[in-house]
A and B are shown apart, each in its own frame.
Chain A
Amino acid sequence: EPEVTQTPSHQVTQMGQEVILRCVPISNHLYFYWYRQILGQKVEFLVSFYNNEISEKSEIFDDQFSVERPDGSNFTLKIRSTKLEDSAMYFCASSPGQGFWGYTFGSGTRLTVV
């Protein structure tokens, strides 16, 4: 069964540093997403991406965040200057179309900002 792959599984970074979280969506999927889950809280939508541009973003997705699909297979989330409150589990997801059939989550990257 096809999977969404995320690397690394755990990343520790110092406050103020830039971090890039990587995702390889399922190959024939066209829509890509990032979600975040702060420990003990709900999974929250960050951003969706389609046709090489952001299609929707939440209030959480401010100027310190950016997304990119640099090479047609990877989908990255960059956090420019990390803060302690950015510590969370970050989930990537992809879907073949606009509906929810085939919407698949990755196993997540745990980001710890120290």
Chain B
Amino acid sequence: AQRVTQPEKLLSVFKGAPVELKCNYSYSGSPELFWYVQYSRQRLQLLLRHISRESIKGFTADLNKGETSFHLKKPFAQEEDSAMYYCALSGRNTGNQFYFGTGTSLTVIP
């Protein structure tokens, strides 16, 4: 069965410090992995997807199939990065739907 695990509910870092939001997944097959961000009282927004290999707002994420992880990283956190971050998975086995982790609330301390 597919599952997405985000072990940290809350994460606080100081401005300018590196940040890593952890995501592990379970999926039989080739998954598509995504990170979504939700700023206060706003909609879920796609931050990045592994297949695009892109960097958005300084964030990157590498799919590690050996460790079944898709951790989100940023070298220097900014105050505006404070938000809820959700890792999500999809693939052929899941149809056209996402499986989400429980989310990590990131607070960047000025």
Binding site for B on A (CB under 8 A): 3-4, 31, 33, 35, 41-45, 48, 55-56, 58, 91, 95, 98, 100, 103, 105-108
Which of B4, B45, B97 is A45 in contact with, Cβ under 8 Å?
Answer: B97
**B74 near A: Cβ within 8 Å?**
no
Bound form: Cα–Cα A66–B96 in Å:
19
5 contacts between A and B (CB under 8 A): A42-B102, A43-B100, A56-B95, A105-B45, A107-B43
**A108 touching B90 by the CB < 8 A rule?**
no
**B97 touching A100 by the CB < 8 A rule?**
no
Bound form: Cα–Cα A100–B97 in Å:
9
The answer to whether residues A100 and B100 also contact, given A105-B44, A108-B43 and a CB cut-off of 8 A, is no
**B20 near A: Cβ within 8 Å?**
no
Binding site for A on B (CB under 8 A): 4, 32, 34, 36, 41-46, 49, 86, 88, 90, 95-103
Bound form: Cα–Cα A42–B44 in Å:
13
Q: Which residue of A42, A48, A105 has the most chain B CB atoms within 10 A of its CB atom?
A: A42
Bound form: Cα–Cα A33–B99 in Å:
13
Chain B neighbourhood of A107, CB < 8 A = 41-43
Chain A neighbourhood of B103, CB < 8 A = 42-43
CB distance from B104 to the nearest CB of A (A): 12
Which of B42, B49, B86, B99 is A100 in contact with, Cβ under 8 Å?
Answer: B49
